[in-house]
Structure 1
C-alpha cells in the first residue's frame, strides 16, 4: 500500500516510544539459547522480531506471549534440527541465526526477498564460520545459504568489521557455547561499535563472560558457558523515534516522546544531541524527550557511524536546514535493505532536495523555504527510507506519495498511527 503525506503545519501531543527492536531480538536469542524459562517484558512487535520468534520456534524453543510479555523456554546448545529457516527480510536475524545454525548438521536459509535481503552480502560471516570448521553453501555470499555444522571449533577466529557489526555479534552469541575457549580478532576496523555495546550488555545480563578490549577489536571468550534463564525488560527504541523527533523538528510542534532513556547504549540516542546541535529546541529528562519545534534548523557536520539507524531521519531534517550539512563515515548504509545512500538520495532529489553523495558521505544543501514535493517516491522496500521520506513530505509544498509504505512494519508497525495521533496528515492509498 502507498502512503499520501500531505504538508502539515503543526504536530502536537505525546506518544510512548515503541520498544527497541535491537534489544528485543537480542533478548529473544539469549532466551532461546538458555535451557530454562525466560520472560521478556514489553517486547517490540515488528516484522524483524516476528521473524526471530518464528525461527526460534522452528529450532525448538517454546514461545508463549500476551500483550505485555513473551515467555520462552529455550533449547540451549541443542537446537532442533530444522531443515529450513525463513527470516523474512531481517538481515540481523539471518546473521545471528547463521551462527546458531553452526550447531546443526544442516539447515537452509531460504530467500523470500530476492530484491532486498537477497541482494545483501554475508561473505565476512561465511568466511569466519568456515574457519571454524563449518561448511557453508551460498550464492556469492548471498541467499539461499545452507549451513552444515554440528561441531564448530573455537580457537582463534578472525572476522571483518568493515561492512557490518552483525557478523561479530553473531560470533559472540555462538562462541560461549563451544567446547574450546575462543579468541575473536576484528579485522579492517569495526562499523557500528555502539551496537556491539548492546550485544555485550545483553550477553552480560544473560550470565555470559566475555573479555573485550577497549577498542572492541579483540575478544576472549571462555567456552562451555551456559546462558542463564531470567527476566529482561526492553527499553524504548531510539532508531524509530529518530523519525518522530525529526518530524517535530521540521514543523511547528510541541511533541513529547516517553521511554527514551538518557543512559541508553543505543547509538541512535545521539540523534537528540544532533538535533540540539542543529538548533532544535528540546529537552531530555527522566526518559522523556520534548521537542518544541519552530521549523528552523542550522546545518552541521556529523559522524553517522555513531547513530547509523538514525542518519536517514536526520538527513531528512537537514533538507530544511540553513546551510550545508555533511554526514560522514556512513558507507555501511549502502549494505542495508537497499543502498541507503544512492537509492535514498535519488528519491530526495525527486522531492526537490539538494543532496550529493560520496562513497562514505551524504552532503545536504538545505532549503529552509521547503521543497516542492508533488511526486511519487519509491522507498525501495526499506523501513528507514519510508520513515525519513515521510519527514520530508510533512514540510513539502505539495503532497508526496510513498510507494509500498506498508513495509514500515519491518521495525515500526504503528509509525503512521503515531504520526496521525500527533496531527500529521497521512493517509493510506490503494
Structure 2
C-alpha cells in the first residue's frame, strides 16, 4: 500500500503550477466527443479519473489523439454518433464520470453498463437515477442504489423541470446532458449555486443554454459544434498549497493560471476570512473560464464559522481547509455539509479521526464538524489513514508543515486520480515528503 512519509516543519516557497482542472477535463472529453468536428484540448489533466473518461469514449468509437503534454485532439462523432461499447465502461474512482455518463448514456439507442472501483461502488447514485427515471430512462442500480449501473435504451427521453433537493453540480450536469436527448427544454433548479463548467462549455460548443438565476435550461435535440478548450490549473489542487503556505512559517508561494470560476472560489473566501494572505493577480480568460495567479504567504489564521453560502463553492476543498482550521486560533465550525459524508470517503469522520491522531480536538456533527484550532502550538505527528481518499492524503501531507514529529499517511495511491506528480511538486516547493510502502 502506497504511503507518504512527511518530515515535520519546513516551508513552501517559489512557484508551483498545479495540474489541469479535473472537472473541466472530464467535460471536455464528453462534449468534444458529442460535437461535430475536431476539438483540441490543452491543459488536460492526465490523472486516472479523467483518463478513465477518455477510455470510456474510445470504447464507444470516438477517436482521441493523445494525451501528450496535456494536449488532446478529439474527433467528434456528433450527437448521435456514439457506438455501443463491447464491455462495461469502467470509470475507476471517478464519481463525476459515472454520474455525468449516466445522463448522457440514458438517451443512447444502445445498452451500456457503468462500473467503478470499490470506493465508487459505495457512493449513492439514486440522486441521478431517480430524476432520470422521471425522464423515462431505464436504469438499474445495485440494491443499495449504487453502481454498477445498467442502462437500457428507451424510445425517447421526456424533458423535465427538476428542482434539486441538494445542491450538486454532478446531478445538474447529468440531467443537462440527458436533456440533449429529450423532447423539449430540460431545466434544473438548484438550492445553492454550484460549479457551472457544464453550462459554460455547452455554450462554447454552440448550445443555447438559458440561465434564470439558479435555474438552467437546455433544449432537446441541440447539436454541438467543436471548439478549442483550454483547461486552467485546478483550484481544488491549488487548495493544498494555499493552505500549506498559509500555515508554514516564512512561506511565499505563487500558483500561476489557477481557475477562479466564481462557483469554485469558496476556498479563497474562507481562507481570507480566516486571515490568510492571498493576493489575486493577472486576472484573464482561459477559454470560457477566468484564471489568475495566486500568491500566498504565511499568516496567523483565526477560526471562523464558515458561511453557509460558501459551502457548495468549496465542497472539494474542505479536507485542506480542516487542516487550516487545526492550525488556527480558536474554533472553526462547519455545518450544512452533509455532502462530505458521501464523497470518496466520509470526509468528516475520516478527517476528524486523522486530526485526533495529530492532537487536534474535532467534534463530528451530522452535517459538519467543529475543530478546536491549536493556534501557535504545533500539531503532533503520527500515522493517519486516508481511507484511499486522495484529498485527505494531500491534506495531511500539508499538515506536517506545522507538526512536531513526522507524519505517515497511509493508502495514498488514489492521489493519482486528481493530482499526478503531487509529491514531486511538493518536494520542489519545500515539503519533506517521501513515497513509501506501508
Under TM normalisation by the shorter chain, which class is it?
over 0.9
TM-score of the aligned structures, taking structure 2 as reference length: 0.91
CA distance in 2, matches of 1:248, 1:31: 37
Determine whether 1:133 maps to 2:117.
Answer: no
Aligned to 2:174: 170
Give runs of aligned pairs for residues 274-285 of structure 1, distance below 5 A: 274-285=270-281
Q: Structure 1: any 5+ residue segments left out of the alignment? A: none
Determine whether 1:105 maps to 2:105.
Answer: no
Q: Structure 2: any 5+ residue segments left out of the alignment? A: 283-291
Aligned to 2:252: 254
Aligned to 1:91: 95
CA contact (8 A) 1:328 1:360 kept: yes
SS across alignment from 1:412: coil
Aligned length: 418
Aligned to 1:206: 205
The alpha carbon displacement at 1:257 in A equals 0.9
The alpha carbon displacement at 1:55 in A equals 0.5
Aligned to 1:120: 123
CA distance in 1, matches of 2:104, 2:266: 32
CA distance in 2, matches of 1:417, 1:402: 16
CA distance in 1, matches of 2:319, 2:372: 15
SS across alignment from 1:364: strand
SS across alignment from 1:258: strand
For the structure 1 residues 333 and 176, does the alpha-carbon distance in structure 2 shift closer, same or farther, using more than 3 Å as the test? same
CA distance in 1, matches of 2:320, 2:124: 25
Aligned to 1:238: 235
TM-score of the aligned structures, taking structure 1 as reference length: 0.92
Aligned to 1:339: 346
CA distance in 2, matches of 1:163, 1:142: 19
The alpha carbon displacement at 1:268 in A equals 3.5
Aligned to 1:69: 71
Deviates more, 1:33-42 or 1:277-286: 277-286
Alignment partner for residue 147 of structure 2, among 119, 143, 154? 143
CA distance in 1, matches of 2:165, 2:200: 19
The alpha carbon displacement at 1:266 in A equals 5.3
Q: Per-residue CA shift, 1:185-217, capped at 9, x if unaligned?
A: 44xx546x231x22211111111112232123x
Aligned to 2:337: 330
Q: Per-residue CA shift, 1:378-405, capped at 9, x if unaligned?
A: 1011111111111222211111111121
SS across alignment from 1:229: coil
CA contact (8 A) 1:352 1:371 kept: no
SS across alignment from 2:214: coil
CA contact (8 A) 2:60 2:82 kept: yes
The alpha carbon displacement at 1:48 in A equals 1.1
> C-alpha root-mean-square deviation of aligned residues, in Å?
1.8
CA distance in 1, matches of 2:70, 2:320: 29
CA contact (8 A) 1:128 1:159 kept: no
Determine whether 1:418 maps to 2:425.
Answer: yes
